[in-house]
A and B are shown apart, each in its own frame.
Chain A
């Protein structure tokens, strides 16, 4: 079990990338795992439909915080729609972990879920009221 605490996870937990906030971010979303109290806020500035810059703030376990750190590195420059397509497999691959218990999987997935909800809200706010999108 402790093999999930590999070098890369501990490194990102202790030295997180992109920790901070973005003033006037286009996307800002906070979510938490109510069971364990892990919390992540993700900030994104968007340019031409792409995630130009990402920052995060958070408290929680090594898995949730390392995941946020690595994710904000990974998806920089990604088309927002592409980020919505990411899933569990991509996160485990990113973390370099083969499998996690359901409880810990929630920790690992928190950052992506928070970002994806933020993107969905962003798209919803972009479409003018009453307009129909396909």
Chain B
């Protein structure tokens, strides 16, 4: 059934707020999404009725809490098409990638090995790999085509046997570009390298299946897919998790502990030291239920149609430059743009005065800003509750920016 954003909106209490006297038009979904009532209620419900530490107590409450936690893991695994034992709960995509950098990178990679990544990565899929340089591991980068798509020819030219990990985003958080993970994974696997996919922007917005995509690692955050902040997921293939060292040491990740030596718990517990965010995991499971009821294919279709409409309207708006692929099918609902003569921060401030919330800045992607040749951009990003009216509000607010900065006469000339 086609997604009806008007009906979806009713499930999100925050969307009835006003901002500066105007209807809140929330267009910063690439940063974090709003939460439906069921997710908020899940947090309250957990702490009201189930709170107990997991994997420990032999009493019923602890068992119920553990069951909720493990049920959430199952929901995640079904959502991305893997086994529950391949789901590691972490704080978010950033922690997931850092886990791989430490537990896989430091363990498996040697001097002279290389990590191959791209210039469109979020800092969280770049800086952890820079840490490996201390070990003599090299970093190499695949560039982009003029339209902001990954240059597959360059990828094929740069991959060789020294590459021991390919790390790539499935969707750029700036350009919206959707990368063809299957194709990239085939290139990586042919060269004997596993592939890590940063799914922070893709998993919330399109159907993602790790078997189909060929991902060996997949990182994503709960809060960008209607879930709470502080919970996220690392998927890794079973054999990789087995071969990796633990990340954090502490409770729950051990099997036996002696004074100077310990043995590790089975996966995924080996990577989940300390008390996990059980309430967050439970609420993420509820967020996945909610997305499941909408159907991820419909979520994607809704965003493509909204993005196409926004691209058309922005193309008709003078003095506005939009970055990234022109074809809505090739991108996610992330639109970075600039208004000539106006700094994106000023754009965001004036948009805010019209109730329109967008992000301005470098979006944690400074190398990509350098490639674009701009210090920063404004960015509007969509989700399931956004409507064409929201896009219209964005366009009117952009006209307001031009008015404040006295660019109006120029535009009508």
Do B353 and A38 touch across chains, with their CB atoms under 8 A apart? Answer: no
A5 within 8 A of B: yes
Which of B237-245, B288-296, B320-328, B341-349 makes up part of the contact surface? Answer: B341-349
Do A39 and B375 touch across chains, with their CB atoms under 8 A apart? Answer: yes
Q: Which of B350, B361, B400, B406 contacts A36 (CB 8 A)?
A: B361
Q: A1-B20, A1-B350, A36-B360 are in contact. Are A61 and B404 (CB under 8 A)?
A: no
- In this complex, how many residues of chain B approach chain A with their Cβ under 8 Å: the count is 20
Please indicate the chain A residues that have their CB under 8 angstroms from the CB of B314 in the complex: none
A107 within 8 A of B: yes
Do A37 and B353 touch across chains, with their CB atoms under 8 A apart? Answer: no
Closest to A39 in B: B375
Please indicate the chain A residues that have their CB under 8 angstroms from the CB of B331 in the complex: none
B352 within 8 A of A: yes
Do B346 and A62 touch across chains, with their CB atoms under 8 A apart? Answer: yes
A59 within 8 A of B: yes
Complex interface residues of chain A between 37 and 72 (CB less than 8 A to chain B): 37-39, 59-63
A133 within 8 A of B: no
A131 within 8 A of B: no
- In this complex, how many residues of chain A approach chain B with their Cβ under 8 Å: the count is 17
| CA gap between A67 and B402 in the complex, in Å | 21
Do B350 and A38 touch across chains, with their CB atoms under 8 A apart? Answer: no
Q: Which of A2, A10, A35, A107 contacts B353 (CB 8 A)?
A: A2
Please indicate the chain A residues that have their CB under 8 angstroms from the CB of B346 in the complex: 5, 61-63
Do A37 and B361 touch across chains, with their CB atoms under 8 A apart? Answer: yes
Complex interface residues of chain A between 1 and 33 (CB less than 8 A to chain B): 1-2, 4-5, 10
B91 within 8 A of A: no
Do B349 and A60 touch across chains, with their CB atoms under 8 A apart? Answer: no
Q: A62-B346, A107-B345 are in contact. Are A10 and B361 (CB under 8 A)?
A: no
| CA gap between A107 and B344 in the complex, in Å | 13
Do B405 and A60 touch across chains, with their CB atoms under 8 A apart? Answer: no
A104 within 8 A of B: yes
**In angstroms, how far is the closest chain A Cβ from the Cβ of B375?**
4
Query: Which A-B residue pairs are the 9 nearest by beta carbons?
Result: A1-B353, A61-B343, A61-B345, A37-B375, A37-B376, A61-B346, A62-B346, A2-B353, A5-B404
Name 17 A/B residue pairs within 8 A (Cβ), A-sorted: A1-B352, A2-B404, A5-B404, A10-B404, A35-B361, A36-B345, A36-B376, A37-B361, A37-B375, A38-B343, A38-B345, A39-B375, A59-B375, A60-B345, A61-B343, A62-B342, A63-B345
